Amino acid sequence: MEPASGQPELPLSLLYAGVTVVLGAAVIHRLLRQELQMGVPAALSLLLLLLAGWVCFVALPGYPGLCIFSLACLLSYCTLPDSELLSVQDKAILITGCDSGFGFALAKYLDKLGFTVFAGVLYLDGPGAKDLKTSGSNRLMVLQLDVTSLEQITKSYAQVKSQLKNRGLWALVNNAGILEFVADAELLPMSTYKHCMDVNFFGAVELTKMFLPLLRQAKGRLVNISSMAGTTPLLGFAAYGASKAALSMFSNVLRQELAIWGVKVATIQPSAFKTGIFGTTDQWSNQHTQIMQQLSPDVRKDYGENYIIAFRGKYGKWQASLQDELQPVLNDISIALIAKNPKSHYSPGTAANFFPFIYRYLPTRLSDFIFYHLLKSGQDVPDGVKEIGL
């Protein structure tokens, strides 16, 4: 069949092949110029794109399928990770929560890379702060910084600005965070919700608002350490997950608003790494005692002593499931800091991609079933559920 112009119409399969060839040529061109960071995730996304092209060709015959495939190719190409890295020379970074975990490891890692590092700690005389002072270079400065204290945030701003003179601050890494206790949302006291929001969200917002003038001056970066729990509903993590979800949304809005200032915003959403955020067995025992004391008689009766006590025994199981090696997180944060065109989101850790995939793409009933059986860890059901036979 020929169109009205009399020219033969190109076969649809040839047009699909043409789009695929153009995409492949563009990717190869950037690879040859060493402008792409082609890791496993990027390679898998391109393979899935080819599969999507076949699905469009079969399920959406005609030009609608071709248009969708072409748009998918364009979006995929634009979101491929850029490997062009900026120099670290004369770049200063403020990191919160450097007493332990990600913050402590990141302060050391970035110091070795050559950054000027301001490491905010909760305890200036704590072991983490002392280690950073003794093992760091003369470019690393340890600051007293409780992110829930406006007074300390203001003082830190004055110290950083004084040290930088007129350079501006290249990056702020909002890393400070707490988990508190893992238990059913109904069992957690309001103090736990408020504390998580104060540290994980409001503290990051307060600090960001304070330091944004210095970030705008440097046209730098804002990197917020959120969590997989901020995008995926995980049993027992209602307080922590809600605070991290708020931080993720805050980051997404700021990314759009700060683009006109030349400030780039990235969100890091790690899965389960061993950072000390779970606290110690003594801390869990104390928190468990506080929870038991504040429960109303009705709630205590409905859940039962054994069900509530079981959460305290989860500590060892959670700790055993955490990843020891923090380098995947450090790598993603450093790329977010020095890549010319960083991604908006980084998800280090296997579960950080697997769990959100289950939640987003599987039917809700199926994903709820999977999460329940993955996370309940052999835990019994509440007494009230047993009584009514659910």
Does residue 351 form part of some domain? Answer: yes
Per-residue pLDDT, 83: 64
Mean pLDDT by groups of 10 residues along the chain of 390 residues: 48 84 82 65 79 82 83 79 80 96 96 96 95 95 97 97 93 94 90 95 98 97 95 91 97 97 96 78 79 88 84 70 85 92 88 84 89 71 70
Per-residue pLDDT, 108: 97
Does residue 385 form part of some domain? Answer: no
Does residue 83 form part of some domain? Answer: no
Which residues are 266's β-sheet partners?
223
CATH number of the domain encompassing residue 246: 3.40.50.720
Residues 112 and 43 in one domain: no
Indicate which residue of 16, 109, 157, 240 is catalytic: 240
What are 62's two structure tokens? 């005609």
Residues 215 and 71 in one domain: no
Last residue of a domain, one of 29, 56, 78: 78
Helices (H), 202-263: 203-218, 238-258
The total number of structural domains that make up the chain = 2
In this structure, the number of other CB atoms found within 10 A of the CB of residue 313 comes to 13
Per-residue pLDDT, 82: 65
Residues 130 and 24 in one domain: no
Does residue 271 form part of some domain? Answer: yes
Does residue 386 form part of some domain? Answer: no
Question: Catalytic: 359?
Answer: no
Per-residue pLDDT, 1: 42
Compute the distance between CA of residue 60 and CA of residue 388 in angstroms, rounded to an integer.
49
The conformation of residue 271, written as its DSSP 8-state character, comes to -
CA distances, 238 to each of 2, 148, 186, 226, 343 (Å)? 61, 21, 9, 14, 27
CB 56 within 8 A of CB 68: yes
> Domain range holding 111?
92-375
Separation of CA 287 from chain center? 26
Per-residue pLDDT, 145: 97
- Helix 314-321 and helix 281-294, axial crossing angle in degrees, nearest 10: 130
Which position has the token pair 């890091």? 268
Per-residue pLDDT, 5: 46
Last residue of a domain, one of 78, 100, 118: 78
CB-based contacts of 327, cutoff 8 Å, min separation 6: none
Per-residue pLDDT, 23: 83
Last residue of a domain, one of 50, 78, 106: 78
Residues 39 and 119 in one domain: no
pTM, full prediction = 0.79
What are 247's two structure tokens? 């931080």
In this structure, the number of other CB atoms found within 10 A of the CB of residue 11 comes to 9
